Structure 1
Amino acid sequence: MPLFLPSTFDNLVNLRHHNILNTFSLEGMPPQIGKLTCLRTLSHLVVGEASCSGVKELGPLLHLQGTLCISRLENVIEPRDAKLIEKSGLDGLLLEWSDNLNESKDRTSELDILSMLHPGGTLKELIIRCYGGARFPSWLRYSLFPNMVLLRIENCQKCTSLPPTGQLPSLKDLSIEGMDSVKNIGAEFYGENCQQTFRSLGTLYFKGMGEWENWIPYGEFPHLQKLFIGDCPKLLGKLPNHLPLLESCDIWMLAVEFTCRIKGSDMGGLTKAKDLAIFKCKELAHLWSDDVGSLPQLPCLRVLKIESCTKLVSLVAEEVEEQLQLGMPSMVREIEIQNFIVLESLPKAMMYNNTCLGYIQIVECDSLLYFAKV
């Protein structure tokens, strides 16, 4: 059942903390919550219909601190008085539209709404969810947040390009998900005419990019440790080559061309990876071969997980296994293989030349005939 706050709520003029962050059934906020000028914590502002509880109520709340979530932004009529930029105590902000809006709804005004909700430069974490504009406002397209460490952009399906997040000097965690209109990621993502990019980024997460075709590297990721790319069925481009600190890489449901026609050099950035997981790349036939569908040598690899690559015949093509033995990963400690229907054998080089291997898990591989064919 919907939850309603009492209409006399605004009489609590000395209230300092109001935490309702996980109350998903809340039906709007009481009117005139802006009277509670002593508030330090307002975890969640639910914008009501007909402007009964609009973002203008945030204007007088000069002492807000911590994290603020503003949801149902489709109900905003006048965002100009929110004055988020003046609230230097805020270090976390979630801006959210409902995810079940009628597709026929005119969403052109959402750029104006997001533009007016410009937060202050002290912000450390920002999440934008289900925004319906075709582009992001200027305050997100320029490096105005020197302290930002986390940025998530989720299900903004009308945006055709990403903001230049490469110029955020403190950014450590970047997640891009459900951006169905983005076809190319290039200079605009890194920040044009800039020599240093992603100076602090440690985790980069891409998921559900239905139209993404090309990743054109224009800059570097000098501190990236974790890379996830999932459910990007049209991705054809190269991976970044300069990933000197990469430890973990997950590759999940990529394009046919990406998994069986790319050149090994296109994945050269994985050479420092310690953990590699590959899921549901259904056209992948071999991981290592002398053909164009080959991974580079992975001398640092420690954990290898492969699942549901239904056309994977072998990890190493038989005709080249002997010449690859010296270059095969010989420090692998864990191997997990699951759900294969044509895989017949594991590579000799990985089994017999490896004194570090301590754990193997094989699940639902009915076609496996040899542990390591001699």
Structure 2
Amino acid sequence: MVTVLDCKKFGTHSILDFDNRISLRFLIPCSTYYGKNVGIGMLTSLRRLLFPVHSYKLSELKDLIELCELKIDGLENHKHREEVNMVQLHSKKNLSRFELVWSDEIDVAEEYELVLDCLKPPDSLKELTIERYHGARSPSWMEPEELKNLEYMSTKECLAWKNLPSLEKLPYLKKLILTRMRELEQIDFEGGFPHLKLLSFSDCEQWKDWSGLKAEMVPWCPLLQKLIIKDCPKLNALPPLPLSVSKNWSCLMWDWSILQHFGWVTTAVIAFHRHPVSDIWKLKDVKS
């Protein structure tokens, strides 16, 4: 019984030659368009799928209800809401890992937003990755009650995305990685991220502050182990780190002026990245 099939070498149309194709669980599709041949939608036992949109029809995903891991690549080729709705992602109750990738071509922001709205995942989702999304707003389903089991979230090169929803209220979120969110201005921390262990910001040029943090708010990220801040030139302050964070905490920073806010850190490991020795001496005023 064939359970894993790599189609890169001979084409996805060959799937139709397998009598036992319905037993396939893992498929690596080819990038060659196969015209009117329909095959992937018949593989109803699939658990993991890399799906290049430019080669296949999104409707093929409709009946793949056993999927646990799904990556959809090339969403810029499907901008019509009706077509994307055929995926019926929310009905795939076993889906735990979902990755969405657009090309780096900038188009009308509203079209990106409508597509992402249609790709609502089930509440079983644990890992979410969004790459090169050029919409300015968050999808309508990105709320704590819809992503209540999410443990990992990563956004990369989402250059127009301005505001994130209340991710800090996700009860099980452990890792949050934001990379090249150049229009991101504000992040809400009112909920405190109760289980967060890794928090990473890279190349967020417009990010200025941490909204919702109050001095009396306890605890804030009580399980935090690693904080990474890199290329965030407008960030003007940092919140107090939780008392539980000590040797495992590290911070990668480009703007040393922010270090003045570390006076309350009792034990910290500072990782120096692309800074001359002369800058390191500025740390002498930081209280230990």
Q: TM-score, normalised by structure 1?
A: 0.64
Higher relative contact order (CA 8 A, sep 6+): 2
Greater Rg by CA:
1
CA deviations on 1:141-171 (whole Å, 9 max, x unpaired) are 3332222111111111111112211111111
- C-alpha separation between the residues in 1 aligned to 2:193 and 2:262? 19
Say which SS state the counterpart of residue 166 (structure 1) adopts. helix
Change over 3 Å in CA distance of 1:249–1:62 after alignment to 2: same
Change over 3 Å in CA distance of 1:136–1:199 after alignment to 2: same
Asked if 1:56 is matched to 2:24, the reply is no
1:113 Cα deviation after fit? 0.7
Q: Verify the 8 A CA contact 2:189 2:210 in the aligned structure 1.
A: no
Q: Verify the 8 A CA contact 1:56 1:82 in the aligned structure 2.
A: yes
1:257 Cα deviation after fit? 4.6
- C-alpha separation between the residues in 2 aligned to 1:214 and 1:207? 14
Picking from 206, 209, 215, the partner of 1:211 is 206
Picking from 168, 173, 183, the partner of 2:185 is 183
Change over 3 Å in CA distance of 1:314–1:232 after alignment to 2: closer
Per the alignment, residue 244 of structure 1 pairs with 243
Change over 3 Å in CA distance of 1:309–1:204 after alignment to 2: farther
Picking from 276, 282, 288, the partner of 1:308 is 276
1:227 Cα deviation after fit? 0.5
CA deviations on 1:15-45 (whole Å, 9 max, x unpaired) are 422332xx8x834577523532433223201
- C-alpha separation between the residues in 2 aligned to 1:182 and 1:29? 40
Per the alignment, residue 357 of structure 1 pairs with none
1:232 Cα deviation after fit? 1.2
Q: Verify the 8 A CA contact 1:29 1:45 in the aligned structure 2.
A: no
CA deviations on 1:155-212 (whole Å, 9 max, x unpaired) are 1111111221111111111101110001233xxx235xxxx42110011011011222
Asked if 1:145 is matched to 2:156, the reply is no
Say which SS state the counterpart of residue 127 (structure 1) adopts. strand
Per the alignment, residue 35 of structure 1 pairs with 41
Per the alignment, residue 14 of structure 1 pairs with 22
Letter in 1 for 2:276: S
Q: Which runs of 5+ in 2 are unaligned?
A: 1-7
1:122-137 correspondence to structure 2 within 5 Å: 122-137=124-139
Letter in 2 for 1:90: L
1:140 Cα deviation after fit? 0.9
Per the alignment, residue 342 of structure 1 pairs with none
CA deviations on 1:307-347 (whole Å, 9 max, x unpaired) are 43544446536xxxxxx9xx75xxxxxxxxxxxxxxxxxxx
Letter in 1 for 2:96: D
Change over 3 Å in CA distance of 1:110–1:277 after alignment to 2: same
Asked if 1:276 is matched to 2:281, the reply is no
CA deviations on 1:347-374 (whole Å, 9 max, x unpaired) are xxxxxxxxxxxxxxxxxxxxxxxxxxxx
Q: Verify the 8 A CA contact 2:84 2:119 in the aligned structure 1.
A: yes
Letter in 1 for 2:88: K
Q: Verify the 8 A CA contact 2:13 2:34 in the aligned structure 1.
A: no
Q: TM-score, normalised by structure 2?
A: 0.82
Per the alignment, residue 94 of structure 1 pairs with 99
Give the length in aligned residue pairs. Answer: 268
Q: Which runs of 5+ in 1 are unaligned?
A: 281-306, 318-323, 329-374
Change over 3 Å in CA distance of 1:11–1:64 after alignment to 2: farther
Per the alignment, residue 231 of structure 1 pairs with 231
Change over 3 Å in CA distance of 1:58–1:268 after alignment to 2: farther
Letter in 1 for 2:209: N
Q: Verify the 8 A CA contact 1:10 1:35 in the aligned structure 2.
A: no
- C-alpha separation between the residues in 1 aligned to 2:34 and 2:183? 34
- C-alpha separation between the residues in 2 aligned to 1:180 and 1:225? 25
Letter in 2 for 1:159: W
Q: Verify the 8 A CA contact 2:222 2:244 in the aligned structure 1.
A: yes
Q: Verify the 8 A CA contact 1:98 1:130 in the aligned structure 2.
A: yes
